[in-house]
Amino acid sequence: MTELTPYSKPGGYLIGTVVFALFWNIIFLILYKNMYSKNSIILLMVLFIAVDVYLFITFCYFLGSYRQPRLKVSNKCPRIGETVTLAWELPDYRSITRLVITLEGFEHMDVPLYDAPYTCRNAIASIILTDTTGIPEIKTGSAEFKIPENLMSSFVGGKCRIFWTLKLQAKKKWNDSRLEYIIDAQPHHG
């Protein structure tokens, strides 16, 4: 079994939030030095605290993201029509109320539209592999899937691409976790 690495990473979100919070704190200090009204200072303090609480929540989310689900497949580059075994393990399963894992295929095209680039992404398949609310099934589980034989394998050519992903959505009470894992589907052999 090969462990998959998520296509989407939480680091960029944290960096953007930290830059925003630092920018806001610098503005706060500049405005605080130039304000004389008591009401204005109270409003500014409330905004300052709100931004720092948001930064703290984002930081906690970032730390929690390193306890990400572990997905393993029997073949990372399966052929069209080949059976693949998928196994998952979720370290923070107690906070998850529903787990949905879907195999999805997309056609991705970069086309010019009125002299501007335009990206078109069309789903060609969406197959639900698991949709569960049971704690034991959320914690660990397995499923089998096949990329349908009547569909295209992964393909890159010019401005058109076909790609396959495993999408994991862990629904939580206050924050959903969504991760994508790339599967490199090979053409049917024979």
Question: Per-residue pLDDT tens for 8-43?
Answer: 655 555 666 677 777 777 777 777 677 666 666 677
pTM greater than 0.75 (yes/no): no
* 52 and 73 share one domain: no
Instruction: Say if 139 falls within a structural domain.
Output: yes
Instruction: Say if 2 falls within a structural domain.
Output: no
* 27 and 51 share one domain: yes
The CATH number of whichever domain residue 93 belongs to comes to 2.60.40.640
Range(s) of the domain holding residue 155? 68-183
Torsion angle defined by CA atoms of residues 174, 180, 181 and 185, in that order, rounded to the nearest 10 degrees: 140
Could you give the number of structural domains in the chain?
Answer: 2
pLDDT at position 13: 57
* 97 and 129 share one domain: yes
Three-class SS string for 87-143? EEECCCHHHEEEEEEEEEEEEEEEEEECCEEEEEEEEEEEEEEEEECCHHHHHEEEE
* 103 and 161 share one domain: yes
* 84 and 30 share one domain: no
What CA–CA distance (Å, rounded) separates 101 from 85? 13
* 170 and 78 share one domain: yes
pLDDT at position 165: 87
What CA–CA distance (Å, rounded) separates 107 from 154? 9
Instruction: Say if 166 falls within a structural domain.
Output: yes
Instruction: Say if 3 falls within a structural domain.
Output: no
* 170 and 115 share one domain: yes
Q: What are the pLDDT digits (tens) for 90-112?
A: 887 777 888 899 998 888 777 76
* 83 and 60 share one domain: no
* 61 and 72 share one domain: no
